[in-house]
Structures are given as structure tokens and as C-alpha cells.
Amino acid sequence: MIRVKKSIIVCFALLASAFVAFGQQDAQFSQYMFNTLVINPAYAGYKGTLNLSALHRSQWIGVNGAPETQSLVLDGSFANDKLGLALTIVNDNIGLQGQTNAYFNYAYKIKTSEEGTLAFGLGVGLGQVSMNNGGANFNDPSDPNFNGGRLSFIAPDARAGVHYSNDKFYAGFSATNLFSRVFDYSTDTKNLIINQGQHFFLTAGYLIDVNDFLKFKPSFLIREDTKGPTSLDINNFFLLGEKVWIGASYRTAVNLFNKNSTIGDVRNRNALIGLLEVYAGKGFRLGYSYDQSLSGLQGFDNGSHEISLGYTFGSKKDYRILSPRYF
């Protein structure tokens, strides 16, 4: 009886969380501040070097069908740091549904002052969305919605963004899934697959020099899809000796707009995140984050884990942050 009750609670918690996961739809990252290109194409070439990074995220460990995400990013700066080019690949799976997106990103950078740079970015690419009906448990074998095996389709997509930074401050705004309302998703092949809604990201942060060894960087990220509850990340990080980032984030859902699709108490959809990022060796960067759910899943999952690895090409010395690239 206790096991049945726990299963029911987990199911309801997953359904409640799905309004965030499916409402947001775009893959969720806790280390987005070290992986900014996955949400904003204007970040391409920002660091002025050639960089390669990979990330794996396992969400809600212990819950069947929980999201798993991988990303791969290659970017560099060209034409005397006026142009940024990048390739981003994101693979995201939740339950029976999977999605893989690949974008070619272009950023044009304008110097607004000696330290300030304004960048405009555009990303174009393809996305493959699939539904594994063979993995579903259903009562009616003749249900036409589940007799097609694995369903999938490929569609073009685009995203755009703007990013500003100087040696102390940064801010960015971007929009993804710009073609989501162009295509007809009502065909038999696509009617079970949740199409991507347009998403908007607003982020900003500021660097405070505490002393020669310690720096403090507060920042925030707002994710908005105009349907589900708005997601807000509040981040506080410390930089030690320009080689180690350590800090925490608080993620919550807020009602910025009156949305008929928002159900339940959004205040309960939150998480606490711890993060560690280390610049180790010649050009290597290693990051880890842990999310502890504070929502209805608390006690039924083993948290969410995210690990990232990055490499900066051409590094000849023990790698430290390329000043002023703190963002």
C-alpha cells in the first residue's frame, strides 16, 4: 500500500513538473553560464579563442523516463575578433520523446567602447523530433496513436539573440524555436509529438572585485515560453584565484503573466543548485553541478547531476581565465 501511494505521488509530481519541463521544452541546463551558446547565438566567438565543450545532464535520478541531455559546442572568433562562428548540437530525451538539434551560429561584434562589445547573433539549423511508441505501455493494442512504432520528423529552425559585455557587466536576450509556428503539427505522424514553442531568455550579471584573489559574480536568468510558468534562476558565484568558480543557484517558477495554461502553485516548482567549475591544466575546464529538487519530487528522486568538460585550443600555459572573459 505504501509503495502504491509513493508511486501515485511521484506520478502527480511528474505531471506537475511537466508543465515546466514540457512548457519550457528547450533543454534545461544548470551550467548555462559556462554553456551560453546553447541559449544565445550572439555568444559565438565571445572568448576570442577556439573552444570545444561537452556537457551531460541526468535529471531526477531514479525516476523512470526522466530527462537526459547532452550538448556539444565548438566556437571561435575570426576577422580580428569581429565575427564569431559556432556549431551547437543538443540531444534531449524525456520519456518516450527525443529531440536532437544542430545549429550553425553567426555573431557580428561591435566595439562600443574600449571594454564594451555588443554582439548580434543568428543561428540556423535542423531539429529531429521522435516518439518511441514501442516503449509505451497502453491498454488498447489497436489504438491508432500507438501502432506506428517510432515516429519522427525533421524540420528547419532558427534562433536569434543579442549580447553585451564589458569587463564588469554582461546582459543578453535571445529567442529560440522561431519557426515553431510555421509548420503544421496536426498530421498523423506528428500529432503525438509535442512541437517546440518559442522561448525567450533574458540574462544579466555583474562582477565585483572583492580583492586580488576573490571575485563575486551575481547573475540571473529568466526563461519564458508564454504558456507555462516563467522560470527564474538567481545565481551567486565566487571566483578564487581566477581558476575556480564555486557557488549556488536558486531556481523557481514565477507568475509574470496571467496564463490560462498554468496549473497549481508555481511556487512549489523550485530547486537549489550547487556548482563547481575548475580551470585545470593547459586549456582544460571541468565543471560539475548538483540540483536538489524542492518541489513535489523531493524525496522520490536522487537529484540531478550535470558534468561538463571544455578545452581551449592554443593554450601554452597553465590556463586561467582570459581577462576580461569572466562571463
DSSP structure string for 273-318? EEEEEEEETTTEEEEEEEEEE-STTTTTS--EEEEEEEEETT--SS
CA distance 286 to 311: 9
CB neighbour class for 253 (10 Å; exposed up to 12, middle 13-18, buried from 19): buried
Q: What is the pLDDT of residues 55-94, one digit of tens each?
A: 999 987 877 778 899 999 999 999 999 999 999 999 999 8
Please report which confidence band the pLDDT of residue 228 belongs to, taking 50, 70 and 90 as the band edges: confident
Retrieve residue 139's grid coordinates: 491498454
Model confidence at 176: pLDDT above 60: yes
Domain assignment of residue 285, yes or no: yes
User: Is residue 324 reached through a cis peptide bond, with omega within 30 degrees of 0 on the bond before it?
Assistant: yes
Q: Do the Cβ atoms of 199 and 181 come closer than 8 Å?
A: no
Beta bridge partners of 151: 131
Of the two residues 321 and 172, the one the predictor is more confident about is 172
For residue 23, give the CATH number of its domain: 2.40.160.40
Nearest to 16 by CA among 233, 294, 266: 266
Domain assignment of residue 264, yes or no: yes
Model confidence at 21: pLDDT above 50: no
The reported pLDDT for the residue numbered 213 is: 95
Model confidence at 247: pLDDT above 50: yes
Domain assignment of residue 324, yes or no: no
CA distance 237 to 272: 14
Of the two residues 312 and 135, the one the predictor is more confident about is 312
Backbone torsions φ then ψ of 133, nearest 5 degrees: -65, -25
The C-alpha angle 43, 153, 29, rounded to 5 degrees, equals 35
Return the minimum-mean-pLDDT range out of 25-34, 69-78, 183-192, 281-290: 183-192
Domain assignment of residue 325, yes or no: no
Q: Do the Cβ atoms of 253 and 270 come closer than 8 Å?
A: yes
The reported pLDDT for the residue numbered 7 is: 40
Average pLDDT over residues 231-254: 94
Please report which confidence band the pLDDT of residue 194 belongs to, taking 50, 70 and 90 as the band edges: low
Nearest to 290 by CA among 234, 249, 240, 239: 249
Model confidence at 229: pLDDT above 70: yes
Domain assignment of residue 320, yes or no: no
Q: What is the pLDDT of residues 249-304, one digit of tens each?
A: 999 988 777 666 555 554 556 899 999 999 987 789 999 999 998 866 555 667 89
Domain assignment of residue 319, yes or no: no
Q: What is the pLDDT of residues 88-146, one digit of tens each?
A: 999 999 877 888 999 999 999 999 998 899 999 999 999 888 877 666 666 666 665 55
Rounded (10°) CA dihedral 29, 35, 40, 43 = 170
CA distance 169 to 220: 12
The reported pLDDT for the residue numbered 316 is: 55
Model confidence at 201: pLDDT above 90: yes
Residue type, 167: D
Nearest to 47 by CA among 103, 109, 90: 109
Please report which confidence band the pLDDT of residue 12 belongs to, taking 50, 70 and 90 as the band edges: very low
Average pLDDT over residues 230-240: 95
Domain count, the chain: 1
Domain assignment of residue 17, yes or no: yes
Q: What is the pLDDT of residues 45-56, one digit of tens each?
A: 998 889 999 999
CA distance 203 to 38: 13
Domain assignment of residue 326, yes or no: no
Query: Structural domain of residue 171, as residue ranges?
Result: 2-312
CA distance 45 to 49: 7
